[in-house]
Amino acid sequence: MIELKQITKIYGNKKKRTTALSGLNLKVEKGEIFGVIGHSGAGKSTLIRCINLLERPSEGEVWVGGIELTGLGKRELQQQRRKIGMIFQHFNLLSSATVYDNVAFPLTLIGTPKNQIRKKVDELLSLVGLEDHRSKYPAQLSGGQKQRVGIARALASDPDVLLCDEATSALDPQTTDSILKLLLDINRRFGLTILLITHEMHVIQSICDRVAVIHEGGIVEEGPVTEVFLKPQHTVTREFINRDASGAEGEEGLRLAASVPRPTWAKLVRITFLGAKTYESVLSQVVRETGVHFAILQGTISTIKDVPYGKLTVSFEGDSGQVEQTLALLKERELDVEVIG
């Protein structure tokens, strides 16, 4: 649905040039929710604005729905942009227009008949839960309500793609979760392709199918969220995961646990459970079989989108052969086992 080929974006002139994106390649499949995460200044906003050519790349090709946007004239590009909705961090609503008129605005611009506009806006306000706020102005709305207006407006032209530019970063955690649930519902209900950029791993973990990590204008890691989240390869990816509050506390807890004196034959192991195995008694079954003693030093259970996962940091104590047998049996049961000390 979306494909970026060798995208480079350079700002400035010969005397002072800043490269925001450098030879970036990215592919988003139809109907998926794809997340791009990166630090401030990594190139996230430039990337998303290049997709609808609000920023024209210095080099490379932008393809959306099988059409190369970078090769289109002005009129053809305007037509294709109607198939790409966009929601913004700071909402970008018309302050002097009502909720109804904000949602109707894209349709008014293209001369849609009033009766069709009324029908469409009514449907969208119902979808985002704002049917009782149609006559209010943006100043009378909460941040979450403003973003719901932004989402309804972005959907007014029946787009195939929805771009989300830090759509939840101005919201509190509870409101963020409600907006993410709404985006997930829209994706499932309409099969809409959603690409969102964020600096929050929680957003990626909650609704995305795949994720790309952007750093210094390039993609440094990419893959299914479960794979990238549970087995991060790049330093930047690990930073994002460990920056999460629970991750920071977990790292400190692990450091303290590792400092406790243990027998020389003990092994410190991180075990990752995914899916239904998260709730199965795999560990207790295996240690009963091998006779190894163990202590759980740290543990978490959570979800990645709809998939449960668990992480345990365990100290195994016993005969070295028995410990190795324990690790082998855990791996046979399709658990991810990593010796960390």
CATH number at residue 315: 3.30.70.260
- In a shared domain, residues 135 and 36: yes
Mean pLDDT in residue range 157-183: 92
User: How sure is the predictor about 231, in pLDDT bands with cuts at 50, 70 and 90?
Assistant: confident
Q: Determine the Cα–Cα distance for residues 274 and 311; give it in Å rounded to an integer.
A: 9
- In a shared domain, residues 177 and 304: no
| Residue 249 domain flag | no
Residue 265 has pLDDT above 70, yes or no: no
User: What pLDDT is recorded for position 140?
Assistant: 96
User: What pLDDT is recorded for position 245?
Assistant: 41
Report the DSSP beta bridge partners of residue 7. Answer: 24
Mean pLDDT in residue range 130-134: 95
| Residue 86 domain flag | yes
Mean pLDDT for all residues in the chain: 89
User: How sure is the predictor about 174, in pLDDT bands with cuts at 50, 70 and 90?
Assistant: very high
Percent of the chain with pLDDT over 90: 60
Structural domain range at position 294: 257-339
Q: Determine the Cα–Cα distance for residues 21 and 8; give it in Å rounded to an integer.
A: 5
- In a shared domain, residues 91 and 201: yes
pTM for the model stands at: 0.85
At 4-48, the pLDDT tens digits run: 999 999 998 878 889 999 999 999 999 999 999 999 899 999 999
- In a shared domain, residues 225 and 293: no
Residue 247 has pLDDT above 50, yes or no: no
- In a shared domain, residues 223 and 182: yes
- In a shared domain, residues 37 and 109: yes
- In a shared domain, residues 273 and 165: no
Instruction: Pick the last residue of a domain from 182, 207, 242.
Output: 242
Instruction: Pick the last residue of a domain from 216, 242, 268.
Output: 242
Residue 246 has pLDDT above 60, yes or no: no
Mean pLDDT in residue range 195-203: 92
- In a shared domain, residues 267 and 220: no
Residue 181 has pLDDT above 70, yes or no: yes
| Residue 267 domain flag | yes
Provide the 8-state DSSP code for 66.
Answer: T
> What domain count does the chain have?
2
At 44-101, the pLDDT tens digits run: 999 999 999 999 999 999 999 999 999 999 999 999 999 999 999 888 999 999 999 9
Q: Where are the beta strands (DSSP E) in the chain?
A: 2-12, 17-28, 33-37, 59-64, 67-68, 84-88, 161-165, 193-198, 210-215, 218-224, 267-274, 293-304, 307-317, 336-339
Query: Helix, strand or coil for residue 308?
Result: strand
Q: Determine the Cα–Cα distance for residues 61 and 287; give it in Å rounded to an integer.
A: 55
Cβ-count burial of 157 within 10 angstroms (0-12 exposed, 13-18 middle, 19+ buried)? middle
| Residue 118 domain flag | yes
Query: Helix, strand or coil for residue 70?
Result: helix
- In a shared domain, residues 265 and 323: yes
Residue type, 275: G
Instruction: Pick the last residue of a domain from 197, 217, 242.
Output: 242
| Residue 216 domain flag | yes
Query: Helix, strand or coil for residue 219?
Result: strand
Q: Is residue 195 within 8 Å of residue 34, measured between CB atoms?
A: yes
- In a shared domain, residues 34 and 173: yes
Which tokens belong to 86? 């966009």
- In a shared domain, residues 193 and 276: no
CATH number at residue 30: 3.40.50.300
Q: 315 vs 4, 196, 253, 257, 288, CA distance in Å?
A: 46, 39, 14, 9, 15
| Residue 135 domain flag | yes
| Residue 251 domain flag | no
Residue type, 15: K
Report the DSSP beta bridge partners of residue 175. Answer: none
Residue 102 has pLDDT above 50, yes or no: yes
| Residue 250 domain flag | no
User: What pLDDT is recorded for position 261?
Assistant: 58
Percent of the chain with pLDDT over 70: 93
Mean pLDDT in residue range 154-179: 92
User: What pLDDT is recorded for position 239?
Assistant: 86
